[in-house]
Amino acid sequence: MLTKLKQRVQTWLTSTATLFHNLGLTPNHVSILGIIFAALAAVAYSQWHFNPLLLILAPVLMLISGLFDALDGVIARIYGEATSFGGFFDSLLDRYADAFILCGIILGGLTEVSWGLAALMGSLLVSYARARAEAAGVKMESVGLAERAERIVLLALASFLSYVWIDALNWGILVLAIVTNLTVIQRAIYFRKASQ
């Protein structure tokens, strides 16, 4: 079942990437769109007190940002537009996107500050651990519980639930803090074994 779902998602991403490419968008353009939507999500999270419907809008904007993050790589691969700078730029903007969204949640008072900061540190270090390991020649894809896609899905689910149960996002951030930091530990252990 998951294999069929993955195939459908890949097919959809490929057709959407074709549409974006035909519109003249490069992978870097799509990466920039992703960070813009992440920043808008952060603003929505931070301002939810003014309108609780922002608790629905924020995760939608975050999911759109995640979609653009997936699409930039698909466009680059399909159309032979992958560059070293593009990979660096995408990764850099992804870290900003993660930080924007988590800071928006913290500033909006939707989580305990300490839990939010732990989730922020864990999210950044998951990505750093992968980048550092792969620079040393050890592949880290699929190592650990909380890669970026899983983190976005977890935050989106907790966010949608928070519209009817405001503490849902607080607890979702705690879970995120735990799983991200566990992922860092998993990657450290994996790297130690793989590099010996």
Catalytic site residue from 72, 94, 98, 167: 94
**Euclidean distance between CA atoms 4 and 15, whole angstroms:** 17
Task: Identify whether 94 is a catalytic site residue.
Answer: yes
Assigned token pair, 95? 């870290």
Q: Which helix (H) or strand (E) holds 100?
A: helix 84-107
- For 183, residues 6+ apart whose C-beta sits below 8 A from its C-beta are 122, 126, 129, 143, 144, 145, 146, 147
Which residue reads 């490069």 in tokens? 26
Separation of first and last alpha carbons in the chain: 37
Query: Any idea which residues carry the catalytic annotation?
Result: 94
